[in-house]
Chain A
């Protein structure tokens, strides 16, 4: 289990992760989403032991990660900014990984290299952005980690490669009980892959939920009545983002879908649609609720670069 207790990381005056609490169970694929500068990458660096929490603690299996080689040997970390030796080929990088990571498996490396269409003898410098990411993922997964921490994993990958990476992650989780934490802005990818999702904002987890639960606890309603009405008509529901255009109202409801539909049907609407929310809509909605909208993002400007 990965656990953060009041974990705080400061960069000078800027607090990138602020008293963050979370616990990630073993064998779970955990997605981290959040606005730019929310502290996703910083949090990943804290749980990989790159950073040490200024306050609070981050533990893996109950032990501090920072300066703990035994735990770090079980982690594969692919950061958003990748690192390869200058002018090195995949072969050279594999040689380096084999030297530095005790769990590096040559056979797995060969399998993965065969699965991804990369030439291990070519210089990585000549690779495209997506190919470089593939290379980093191959190297990381070849270390046979028990924990996989991927930052902006799918950035630059084409849909086929994304599918391949997802497959490998899922297989590792299923077959070897690996725990994975993935951050991404592509909510569509996380929706498919993750078991749990956490939303980070301003260095703290705003909510944390099972993906299925998240998708079923929020839904969009479109409703119209013959008689005039207003928002007070739906007092028994937990309504968010209410808007009305003519006689048609749109709003998001938190709660059980069937119960809500039942309540609304009892009011005899002339139009009633109860639609599921995509993860992206959930994200936008939750962020708007926290005061992070298009307008405000524009105003906040450059102070969102702590990652």
Chain B
């Protein structure tokens, strides 16, 4: 792989950039692999990357129905934070956040991780108590957070209205090392690194069936033919239920559309990411200048990746109230992504009833921030056949045992 650098750009500029090589290859599938991952989104590609990097398994194919990074990886609002309440969540999201910090250097691809800081606003006394609890939990989990007062919120976010007549801002949970990254670049950077390790990323290849023998997976039927594998990782987010069905088991997961939108770009006016859970909305400003806005999920299950209006309206009301200056900006584009939600709103990184078949799903509305940690933990699970400490709590069994990891306690809104 030819490395990216300012010198490479200078060299290429002299020949009109004619010498750049492909970021990733476009191979035809081999007859079989040591491991196949279904789904070339961030989580699937990260899984492949850490299979190679941490476990030396590189005879790997990542199979993608559409184009890589085209699902939720390319549709989210790019927020990265790890100020979670429950220990298992804080562990994996903090792992992810710390991997994001060095991802550009690891992948030699600028994913523009920007630790601009994340504030979760407290607008009721109840919310204040909730975030104080999270702050105490984070202190023991090694996650750097701080409960800040309203004046400090205003200092960090000058455009915020802290004296709204309905839900004045009482303070906020501040994670200075949270932030955003360029979502597409995460998928592309991983894809390039995986391809460089000799892995095959096979796009436009839909899995139509999972073949097993003696209770163990042996391969997948695809639109490009049958491909054998020793191990299978299902990392398909919104369509997890359908692929699990092919593998012969059911999941406690449902799919709903999560709504998001961006405004037209304006000059920088907000450095940090703000989430307002009482009024339901969150907003950050991209490097391009767009206000990136998210809200809630549609109230019904579906698979269409379309924007709907009802949540957009609610979200924009909330944000106009919180940031009055956005009123005269314009909504440029709205869209939806299909998120897979478990009963406790925490993910699954788990063995399945089918031998050598593993699942990573259920990230719900907050998967982007988890990508590297999720891939790290899933790779460990696939390589060893047993979950490591990061994944252990996220097993399918927890629903049988009632051992939920309920984050709705702390974050009642999509994130």
Q: Do A and B bind each other?
A: no
